[in-house]
Structure 1
Amino acid sequence: MPEPKFRVAICGGGIGGLCLAVALSKDPSIEVSVYEAAQRFSEIGAGVMIWEKTWRILEIMGLTERFSKIAHAPPDGSIEVGFDHRRSDQPEEGFRFSLAEMPYGCIRFHRADFLDVFINNLPAGIAHFNKRLSFYGRSLSDSAIALHFTDDTTATCDLLVGCDGIKSTVRGQMYTEQAERIRAEGGDWQSLLDCIEPAWSGKTTYRGLIPAEKLSSGHRALRAPMKYCGKGKHVVSYSISQGSIVNVVTFASELEKEGTPYEGPWVTECSQQELLDCFTNWEPDVEELLKCIDKPTRWGIHHLKPLPFYVTDAVALLGDAAHAMTPHLGAGAGQAIEDAFILSFLLTHPDTDRGTLNTALRAYEHARLQKATRVLKGSWNAAIMCEFNSPEYGDDYSRLGDAIRRQWDWVWESTPESDADEAIQWLARALKI
């Protein structure tokens, strides 16, 4: 076998890591390895949603035929509901105050099925399990990166991509090392350390799955993605698995606690009564949904502060490791896929080799950091608005509805192709080609 132009190690086998691995594996000149901490690939959570821009990336990758088979319905580009927003925090029937419609609408999947498409397109021999990264180091003899795992094994690569989630080990080491350098120079090192640990958003979520046949035939959750909104709380529901299951996610916000320590495990089981007590006296649609969830789970929703950089010295962050966000725009998986698309496009470019690798990574950061940060902030703002806590809009429904619909403008402001072209142009300027 010819010597690869470089070796890429992907730490983390979630959606972003596997999407990157599948994209890079199509280039025989790049050696790709995926190191997953668990015994097998798996995803926590029930539902995942994407929007038109992400669907276009999956088209470019040649995967949409497979994804169409597992969506709530085969996406065809027609105008569909993104989310139907209702005022629901009263015992009588609520009312719609905003309807967000768009091409493709909200494309929904069971998260495990979604991940399986990437797994099934991953070449044999790339995945390595029970490999939890402990730390990475530099080789004294060359530019290689040495990976040290908790099972006392090691591996080497030329590029390390941290796809290891919101509690990323790669991010922790990257930002600790950079803080040490800044401290030695007398700069603001503490702000970098503050980026390492996820922060509690002040939001508590209850999740559950409902077989569609348990709901009355006319229930709105069977027809469209719903946001049932109230002061400081809201309930999201949408169908997955070809419409056979309804995914329900509820949110209760304590904004004054944002950034404070979260007591207890992030995910735990709880009683149905706890869930019902949280949403007592909400409209009948919501009451019916919640009474169908026999064994809800409670989640403390965490997110990251916007990071100032994603790359240092042949190490890059991707997906939740770079921009873990609250789920209020349904954008976390899509943003990870956008990361993977742009990074793979740059790494497979003919002008990228060992000598230009760091420049390609800076092009990736230039292409993705501001865009992903905008979505991260927008996701937070989306919850503020749909829970009627926006200082600007409050419950002024006409202005609020327009503002909520604008929260998805980033989906159409550029295309994957134009984003990739911009990244390549930046690379060319940096290399003075």
Structure 2
Amino acid sequence: MTIPHPAQRIKVAIAGGGPGGLATAIALDKVPNVEVVLYEKSAVLREVGAGISIGQNSWNVLELLGVADSVISGHPTLAVLNLNGRTGEELTRTERVVKGKHTSIRTERTHLQAALLKHVKPGVIRYGKKLQKTEDLGDAGVKIYFTDGSSDIADLLVGADGICSVVRDGAWPTYPLKFTGTTIWRALLPRKELKALDPRFDITGWWHLPTSHVWFSPVSQGLSEIAAREYQDPKIHSASKSTWGVPVTNEYVESHFTEYLPQIQAAIKAIPYGAWREFAAFAGPELSRLTAWNNKIVLVGDASHALSGAFGSGAGFAMEDGWVLAQALALFGNDLNKALPLFDEIRLPYYAKMYAHLDEQKQKRSDTLGKIKEPTEEDRVRSKVIGMGGKDMSWIYEHDIGKTWEKARGRLDV
């Protein structure tokens, strides 16, 4: 890493110990004169969820972070299916080709977390520190208050605390985060058990009805993930921000998927009692900046783009954010007033393109159904699947953040 300017000493506090927070800590450790402390609300760092995707974009940033070789297990996702959940009809099949050093995989979220943790220096993470509020101290930095009564002051606060970010709430107090109407239930089950019910369950795929789907995807040699998702009108049904990874009864989950194929219902019923976790999906509008308080606040990961995991690569985006932030600080000798605007310049257009893509998908689904006078259930399922694809998505799934950085760096007279 080339440092064209003498680096001033700064303290950076990171809120949140997910992939984005850990990657930011790893990347900042390579920047001279940066003191890093990561605050994690849990007493023990643990991932909430089941599986996670590591595509070429994620592998690219993991290589830059020096972490890729620590990710030791996962299952290739070279074929992806979309099927009708009532009839079993295969609607689309995507065959992926390995283009780089690594194969796209699904793995357990804990595996990615463990790989990242290996590269975070001892003493950087402070556990049991749930963020309560933040305060702008002007030239003195940002004051961070925790629910245990303690506090800290940093020159820069990185909000890596997820879609319901406390950091974002403090700096953007009117940000309208809302329940989307979608609830997701996640669990893990032995692959052998699922494959016995239907061999297609051993291929990554979505099984759809018009307002719901059930997703199956192997995440290791022995386990597969089930993610069951249903949409209900948010004007009628509400949810709490705290509904994230909370236990839910098997009977409750099963009651939402009684119209699916018998083997899908059997798979859902096979989940061990108490293993289901419920996640309420929230979303919010595009931000015009990812930095605030005169360049003392910066958002990374889901905090910066509240899209409820719409692209299935949130960990990759968050890690890219953290890596770019570190490069910008190094480039400008930790001058926040130069580094953070560059971070915005690089990452804002990327997230803007995601919001635009989702708007296009929604319009595409509407246009498809609008051409049918009385759409059947099969028509609505097909329009849903059509709206999910049809465009080259390599700008996300093959994104090389290193090349993006070099391109931006080349435009600067530094």
TM-score by length of 2: 0.84
| Cα displacement (A) at 1:272 | 2.8
Query: Cα 1:368–1:3, aligned 2, differ >3 Å: closer, same or farther?
Result: closer
Contact 2:31–2:326 (Cα < 8 Å) also in 1? no
- Establish whether residue 352 from structure 1 lines up as the match of residue 329 from structure 2: no
Q: Paired residue for 2:96, among 96, 102, 118? A: 102
Q: Distance in 1 between matches of 2:38 and 2:222?
A: 33
Query: Cα 1:155–1:365, aligned 2, differ >3 Å: closer, same or farther?
Result: same
Q: Paired residue for 1:16, among 10, 14, 20? A: 20
Hey, what does 1:133 align to over in structure 2?
131
Contact 1:145–1:159 (Cα < 8 Å) also in 2? yes
Query: Cα 1:151–1:3, aligned 2, differ >3 Å: closer, same or farther?
Result: farther
| Cα displacement (A) at 1:284 | 4.1
Bigger shift: 100-109 or 357-366?
A: 100-109
- Establish whether residue 391 from structure 1 lines up as the match of residue 366 from structure 2: yes
| Cα displacement (A) at 1:413 | 7.0
Which digits, 9 at most, give the CA deviation of each residue in 1:138-196, with x for residues without a partner? 446x44333333333332222111112222221111113xxxxxxxxxxxxxxxx1x2x
- Establish whether residue 335 from structure 1 lines up as the match of residue 333 from structure 2: no
Paired letter, 1:275: V
Q: Distance in 1 between matches of 2:266 and 2:162?
A: 34
Secondary structure of the residue aligned to 2:367 is coil
After TM superposition, list the pairs within 5 Å mapping 1:56-95 onto structure 2: 56-67=60-71, 69-72=72-75, 80-81=78-79, 83-90=80-87, 94-95=88-89
After TM superposition, list the pairs within 5 Å mapping 1:56-205 onto structure 2: 56-67=60-71, 69-72=72-75, 80-81=78-79, 83-90=80-87, 94-104=88-98, 106-139=104-137, 142-176=139-173, 193=174, 195=175, 197-205=176-184
Unaligned segments of structure 1, at least 5 residues: 74-78, 177-192
Instruction: Give runs of ≥4 in structure 1 deviating > 4 Å.
Output: 376-382, 396-403
| Cα displacement (A) at 1:343 | 1.3
Q: Distance in 2 between matches of 1:32 and 1:269?
A: 34
Bigger shift: 396-405 or 357-366?
A: 396-405
Q: Distance in 2 between matches of 1:124 and 1:265?
A: 30
Paired letter, 1:22: I
Q: Paired residue for 1:288, among 248, 262, 266? A: 266
Q: Distance in 2 between matches of 1:129 and 1:237?
A: 33
Secondary structure of the residue aligned to 2:366 is coil
After TM superposition, list the pairs within 5 Å mapping 1:203-352 onto structure 2: 203-217=182-196, 219-220=198-199, 223-240=202-219, 242-254=220-232, 256-257=233-234, 261-262=238-239, 266-267=243-244, 268-295=246-273, 296-312=276-292, 313=294, 314-349=296-331, 351-352=332-333
Bigger shift: 268-277 or 197-206?
A: 268-277
Secondary structure of the residue aligned to 2:254 is helix
Paired letter, 1:352: G
Query: Cα 1:148–1:216, aligned 2, differ >3 Å: closer, same or farther?
Result: closer
Bigger shift: 198-207 or 410-419?
A: 410-419
Secondary structure of the residue aligned to 1:375 is helix
Greater length-normalized contact order (CA 8 Å, ≥ 6 residues apart): 2
| Cα displacement (A) at 1:218 | 7.3
Contact 1:238–1:247 (Cα < 8 Å) also in 2? yes
Query: Cα 1:35–1:271, aligned 2, differ >3 Å: closer, same or farther?
Result: closer
Q: Distance in 1 between matches of 2:115 and 2:82?
A: 31
| Cα displacement (A) at 1:217 | 4.0
Q: Distance in 2 between matches of 1:106 and 1:379?
A: 23
Query: Cα 1:269–1:5, aligned 2, differ >3 Å: closer, same or farther?
Result: closer
After TM superposition, list the pairs within 5 Å mapping 1:372-383 onto structure 2: 372-375=351-354, 378=357
Paired letter, 2:322: A
Percent identical pairs in the alignment equals 24
Hey, what does 1:55 align to over in structure 2?
59
Paired letter, 1:72: H
Q: Distance in 1 between matches of 2:291 and 2:113?
A: 26
| Cα displacement (A) at 1:422 | 3.4
Contact 1:13–1:41 (Cα < 8 Å) also in 2? yes
Paired letter, 1:250: A
Paired letter, 1:21: A
Q: Distance in 1 between matches of 2:205 and 2:253?
A: 18
Contact 2:42–2:128 (Cα < 8 Å) also in 1? yes
Which digits, 9 at most, give the CA deviation of each residue in 1:197-219, with x for residues without a partner? 53111112222211123224473
Secondary structure of the residue aligned to 1:109 is strand
Unaligned segments of structure 2, at least 5 residues: 1-5, 370-378
Q: Distance in 2 between matches of 1:403 and 1:131?
A: 39
Secondary structure of the residue aligned to 1:390 is helix
RMSD, matched Cα: 3.0
Contact 2:7–2:32 (Cα < 8 Å) also in 1? no
Query: Cα 1:378–1:202, aligned 2, differ >3 Å: closer, same or farther?
Result: farther
Which digits, 9 at most, give the CA deviation of each residue in 1:324-377, with x for residues without a partner? 32234212212111211211221222x333xx3122111111211231243356
Paired letter, 2:288: P
Q: How many pairs are equivalent?
A: 390
Paired letter, 2:302: D
Contact 2:163–2:303 (Cα < 8 Å) also in 1? yes
Paired letter, 2:330: T
Contact 2:55–2:398 (Cα < 8 Å) also in 1? no
Q: Distance in 2 between matches of 1:106 and 1:288?
A: 29
Hey, what does 2:3 align to over in structure 1?
none
Paired letter, 1:302: F
| Cα displacement (A) at 1:52 | 1.1
